[in-house]
Structure 1
């Protein structure tokens, strides 16, 4: 054969073999295992459907009658868990079946929740399920199946969802609620409860923000219902209990030690529920030029009524409402929630609703927990940036990254050997016809070597990425929230089983699109790829037909006892934090920060039992939560302080987790200080051990710490937004931004503490240290209660203290403030400035 022809064929054959090896290499251990999740806001320009159907009456099919209700009065809040109650009656006995709820999503796969049931002939079965409403469609599809998965009865429901509002949802539990109708005159939404519609799971109460009990025999509630309410409180809810002459009925709830209450005598007292401290109102009055102005009007009416007051003492409680020495209301912090006990019943006559009734509701609102206030603010804002959470849990498990150098070296050796070396050897031996045997053999051998080299880095089993957050409250009670993803290396179907005590729910990536949801049109609501199945024995996560390395997202939360403390001796003076903190958690803390009045203080690592002085630690003042995302160096300096070096996998996870935690658990909590940091994952949540999958992630702890702000009998309040109510204009409490040129706000300060000054400090406002768009630019006016006009007090460019306040504070320490933006500098979304007050300390 001609040498040129043979050489040509030989080269062609080598090229083919090289291509084959490259293809094989791409399919082995050096294959990239990382799939990134794009951090893109998926906001749809849609509005809520106005056609909300009432829940249908009983439907029958195949001998089964089914009716259902959801939420409360068939209403629920977007972003909350919703209780769905089924009433099922079958003419036949089914030893095994399932009730399923499928929640469709317009831009993702549908989510299915299922609960196994047993139906007995002609015996009604009641089933309650709790599902999170985090998808962007206002529809659910429900069905009952037999043991083989055959659908026996099904139907589609259009949900009545409320979103983009911060109205409190109040559940009223009373045998006679007519005297409580004043609650309907507030901005809250009222739902009347009975012992029949109180669920046995705390998540079934998640729609509610407040539960008010008055003139109701709480012994009617069974043990599971009582425990559900208690856990709901610990997770952030507010329980309000009226007593007085009905104390024997309402306080039976606490017989097993939830609160330690000692009751004494019942006496008649005349009271107006301390309305003298809260009898100012805002009215709109037109001046001579017919221009409307907001003014403070003090009401001087004597609205005292006679009430039966029960004298009592409550361990570890504080009286927050008194009238002439008579204690009317106690408040108790339990876990992350509160319990309010009134010493009277809460019933009022209709002519008392607008006066005393409004004052009672204001007192209840003032005790809402920090976590609840922030949740309502986020719901009012309309969305959250949770893509940082998804980025944190999406990172794959990689025990040891493939070393590409070895693969390149193997490839070069192969190419060099099957190229010139083999050609020269065979030519010299005059056996070039062996090329057709040797080259394929070498290709197979090289492929085998590459395969063996990649065996230690190849992912062959599903794995978990997680972020676990412990939000510690009072009485060593913590809410544990676990966010995680499960990723499989192939598109097989998987079942992941765990103990049935875990209330697992799918975590939808459209959760940050609050308030934007559609009605289902062409979406197939009956199909699904991911489901959570509850049975008496176990909880199962089922995943089917997902593309390889496509993560599915879940969450699980519970309340548990938390052992360990952070002991602090801290003082805040002259806009700086001084003092020490000591770690007594029982484990080391990594990359810790102290969050105080929107200051982020980089503390660093704290070993167990170690005490550190934070006086010299670096502090960054945040004007707005936006800076957590726009100031990239802020969090990076905390989680990976090595300048110039690329972040490791663990550091990237910590960065995203910390960004999410600061926004979700910290920002907007006025005058409350926290330590947040990463703890050893040796104490990882039991759910990840129960899954029996390789798991990697981080565990965050969020703990409130005490900070003293009283110096020389004077108290400085460095953030007065907890006293603020917006009267006119648009304001985002999450981002601290004004939506227009003017914002008028009403500050209702404590009337028993004399205000000495209102300050506009340079140390807290970015206008003095940053670009003007990063802070407030404009003028600040106070309403003059004498002249009935607004006076210019502060200009954003000049820091000063206003001490002559007698013309601006009314007799109850109320202040009306107008912020006017300089639109020549800032067009819209101007950040609200920080004002502080100095007052006498009790």
Structure 2
């Protein structure tokens, strides 16, 4: 028994000693772990400091090495260019042209020629470059206009030594070119974006636009119209801001379509326009709509020059020779009896008649024939024609000033509904949060208490939280934004006339700068201009278009995330078809009207625009017909504005504000206060962007509606 008790006591002591040893060992281990953590943390901090010092030293060493080696010239050149380009912002110091080879070597020879293509509304900038050594880099055109943001065009070139490289670059017309100082800087830039050559030109666009006034004459008596050239006279342009020399161009049915876009003014006299083809008539009408001036002579030839045009285009008619006595320079002359619509106004020219605005263009109809012997034989004919040009030019200046251009304010207003930023709906998230609080608190506590398993509370809370986190992530995917986002609205005539115009918005959710590729068949790339009163906005953005072979990259240098860049693009119009509206005598109320979709697109909605009235109609698929009486959605008064009107009582339109905004944007683009239009909007139109950027693309296709009843 004693032996048993002694053994038990020994075992108990041994066990207690072991426990003490274990506790002592664990305590020592914890101390060691704490010490190790401190050592590890100290080591990490020390390593980070050493890494920063080493990397900084490497950078400094690399920079110093670069300064002492081949980069010396480029660094000096860059500083020189920076000093030279700072002067660009001071117009008082920028008089005349700069042509300084900033590399210090007479390495580059740059020649520049600018012409205006009025048909495409672009300046064609022809650049010729030679270099003494092999060069790979960019030709850069930098435009600075008071009515728009800075736009830079970079074109990559490979230039062998002592060879010449020719390049044509299209720079779109800007409304600021008519009134404001506009500058173009040509630069040679290497791959490291160091400017090696810079050449500046002041007012070069205005000079290209107004150096000559091209006057076309479509007439069987062309040789009698030489006085129209006003040889030796200076023609005032834009309220005497520029002067032009007259250049007379003979227009025939054969060259009409190819030459009309180059003209400032077209005379039609002693010519039967009913002999022209529909394509030729359409070309004349499109020329006027886009800003051209059409002058028509009647007189002894009566209405021969009017016959080919519809009543919706020329709202005037001839009833024969007038019984009134008319005189030109004091001599009696035959005059036609013209009945003008109320829109026509006379401005007191010796060439008796009246004019009417047509969108951006102008139509003047004279009671006389410009080839009448009384005029062609007068010693005052040239003097009077110069006065006529000057008066006509004042109407052009007024139209450009007051035509309601598509300004940045207007585009921004519509693109708020178009650009695809999802509005965050917090209702669902609120419900998830309320459920989480209820479950994580009283519900979970009561359940565990009832099941007598409250010790699992520390496991249940993370599990429930994880489930709700997954739910929030699934819910949030509805509002997930892509890194790069774009929205585009392309406006085009249904019959293929003119060019397609695309307004494009782009932004990045990660960076202020947005950079993306676009299609290579664009005719012109530009920013969206300010309206006339906003042209002195100091918060201008920088836009770039970089072309390397078939790759075209557009860049907007924003400052913060979601800073949007707005581009204005032009490309060939490849539409073929029409949107035809049939109606009866009650067209004023649009009763019983039918809209036939003879295009290749499915339209979601149509908008019929007649002066200050509009009606929105449900669309139809290609080849289909919409019945206005059955498919009418909304009617109202049209006002050209910077945002979509409130559609009171129409929940359908409020839910489709993206496509309705596109319709209204299209209406603003074609509206002229006189003509009638039908406009269709389609979703998923041709993409403008390429690559890793998401795009919402819309097409706005329009056609004219005749005033005359169709059935």
**Length-normalised TM-score, structure 1:** 0.49
Q: Does 1:554 align with 2:567?
A: yes
**Rg comparison, structure with higher value:** 2
Secondary structure of 1:708's counterpart equals: coil
In the TM superposition, what whole-angstrom CA distance separates every residue of 1:242-298 from its partner, at most 9, and x where no partner exists? Answer: 999xxxxxxxxx9xx9899xxxxxxxxxxx9657899xxxxxxxxxxxxxxxxx996
Q: CA deviation at 1:112?
A: 2.8
Aligned to 1:480: 500
CA distance in 1, matches of 2:438, 2:530: 55
Report matched runs for 1:372-387 at 5 Å. Answer: 377-380=399-402, 387=409
Query: Which residue pairs with 1:752 in the alignment?
Result: none
Aligned to 2:651: 645
Give the corresponding residue for 1:184: 235
Question: In structure 1, how many angstroms separate the alpha carbons of the residues matched to 2:666 and 2:581?
Answer: 22
Distance 1:348 1:125 in 2: 51
Q: Which has the higher contact order (CA 8 A, sep 6+)?
A: 1
| Residue 138 of structure 2: aligned partner | 97
| CA drift at 1:386 | 5.3
Write out aligned runs for 1:374-453 (5 A): 377-380=399-402, 387-395=409-417, 404-420=426-442, 443=465, 446-453=468-475
Structure 1, 176-185 or 552-561: larger mean CA deviation: 176-185
1:498 aligns with 2:506: no
Whole-angstrom CA distance in 2 between matches of 1:192 and 1:157? 19
Pairwise CA distance, 1:583: 0.6
State the Cα distance separating 1:100 from its structure 2 match: 3.9
Is 2:661 the partner of 1:656?
yes
Give deviations 1:657-703, integer Å, cap 9, x for gaps. 333333331133x3x3221232x335x13535x45643324322220
CA contact (8 A) 1:137 1:518 kept: no
Q: Which residue of 2 aligns with 1:147?
A: 191
2:353 corresponding residue in structure 1: none
Q: Indicate conservation of the 8 Å contact 2:582/2:593, yes or no.
A: yes
For 1:353, what is the secondary structure of its paired residue? Answer: helix
Q: Does the C-alpha gap of structure 1 residues 393 and 212 become closer, same or farther in structure 2, counting only changes over 3 Å?
A: farther
Match of 1:249 in 2: none
For residues 624-671 of structure 1, the C-alpha deviation after alignment (integer angstroms, 9 at most, x for no partner) is: 845x679945xx37xxxxx2638545x222333333333331133x3x
Query: Do the aligned partners of residues 383 and 469 (structure 1) sit closer, same or farther apart at CA in structure 2, a change above 3 Å counting?
Result: closer
Match of 1:834 in 2: none
Judged with a 3 Å threshold, the aligned counterparts in structure 2 of structure 1 residues 658 and 85 are, in CA distance, closer, same or farther, namely: same
SS at match of 1:664: helix
* Pair 1:514 & 2:532 matched: yes
2-side partners of 1:575 and 1:655: how far apart? Answer: 23
1:349 Cα shift?
8.6
Structure 1 gap ranges (5+): 1-47, 194-210, 245-253, 261-271, 279-295, 306-332, 367-372, 638-642, 712-842
Does residue 100 of structure 2 align to residue 59 of structure 1? yes
- 1:181 and 1:615, CA in 2 relative to 1: closer, same or farther beyond 3 A? farther
Q: Is the 8 A contact 1:69 1:85 kept in 2?
A: yes
Alpha-carbon spacing, 1:631–1:391, altered in 2? closer, same or farther (3 Å):
closer
Local SS of the residue matching 2:661: helix
1:387 shift after superposition: 3.3
Q: 1:440 to 1:171 in 2, by over 3 A?
A: farther
Alpha-carbon distance between aligned partners in 1 of 2:626 and 2:654, rounded to the nearest angstrom: 29
Contact 1:173 1:192 in 2 (8 A): no
- 1:138–1:519 Cα contact (<8 Å) kept: no
Deviation at 1:605, TM superposition (A): 3.6
Does 2:671 correspond to 1:666?
yes
Kindly indicate whether the alpha-carbon contact (under 8 Å) linking 2:215 and 2:266 is maintained by their aligned counterparts in 1: no
Check the 8 A contact 1:142/1:154 in 2, yes or no.
yes
Quick check: 1:179–1:348 contact (8 Å CA) kept in 2?
Answer: no
Choose the corresponding residue for 1:465, options 487, 492, 509.
Answer: 487
Q: CA contact under 8 A between 2:215 and 2:264: conserved in structure 1? A: no
Alignment check: 8 A CA contact 2:512 2:559 kept: yes
Question: In structure 2, the residue corresponding to 1:491 is in which secondary structure?
Answer: coil
Mapping of 1:291-440 within 5 angstroms? 299-301=327-329, 351-355=380-384, 377-380=399-402, 387-395=409-417, 404-420=426-442
Query: Hey, what's the Cα distance between the residues in 2 that align with 1:52 and 1:382?
Result: 33
Task: Determine if contact 1:60/1:66 at 8 Å carries over to the other structure.
Answer: no
Give the superposition deviation at 1:121.
Answer: 3.0
- Residues of 2 paired with 1:495 and 1:54: CA distance? 34
Look up the SS of the partner of 2:532 in the other structure: coil
Q: From 221, 226, 249, give the equivalent of 1:214.
A: 249
How far did 1:86 drift? 3.8
CA distance in 1 between counterparts of 2:487 and 2:390 reads 44
Determine if contact 1:87/1:127 at 8 Å carries over to the other structure: yes
| Higher strand proportion (structure 1 or 2) | 1
- 1:264 aligned residue: none
Is the partner of 2:560 in helix, strand or coil? coil
What are the within-5 Å matches in structure 2 for residues 777-816 of structure 1?
A: none
Q: In the alignment, which residue of structure 2 is the partner of 1:542?
A: 555
Q: Gapped runs of 5+ residues in structure 2?
A: 1-88, 218-225, 271-275, 283-295, 303-323, 334-357
Separation in 1, partners of 2:153, 2:205: 19
Going from structure 1 to structure 2, the CA distance change for 1:127 and 1:142 (only over 3 Å counts) comes to same
* Equivalent of 1:566 in 565, 568, 579: 579
Q: What SS does the corresponding residue of 1:61 show, helix, strand or coil?
A: coil
Give the Cα separation in 2 of the matches to 1:115 and 1:56.
22
The Cα offsets for residues 370-419 of structure 1, whole Å up to 9 and x where unpaired, read as: xxx99962534676565343233344776987764543343233323443
Question: Any idea what SS the aligned residue of 2:380 has?
Answer: helix
Aligned-residue RMSD, C-alpha: 6.1
Contact 1:581–1:612 (8 Å) recurs in 2 = yes
Given the superposition, is the C-alpha separation of residues 380 and 577 from structure 1 closer, same or farther in structure 2, using an over 3 Å criterion?
same
Q: CA deviation digits over 1:481-529, x for unaligned, max 9? A: 1112123221186542233212453433xx2422654599xx9x9xx76
Q: Give the number of the structure whose residues are more often helix, by fraction.
A: 2
- 1:71: how far off? 6.4
1:170 aligns with 2:175: no
Check 1:126–1:518 CA distance in 2 against 1; reply closer, same or farther (3 A cut). Answer: farther
Q: State the distance in 1 between where 2:449 and 2:710 align.
A: 94
How far 1:131 sits from its partner (Å)? 3.1
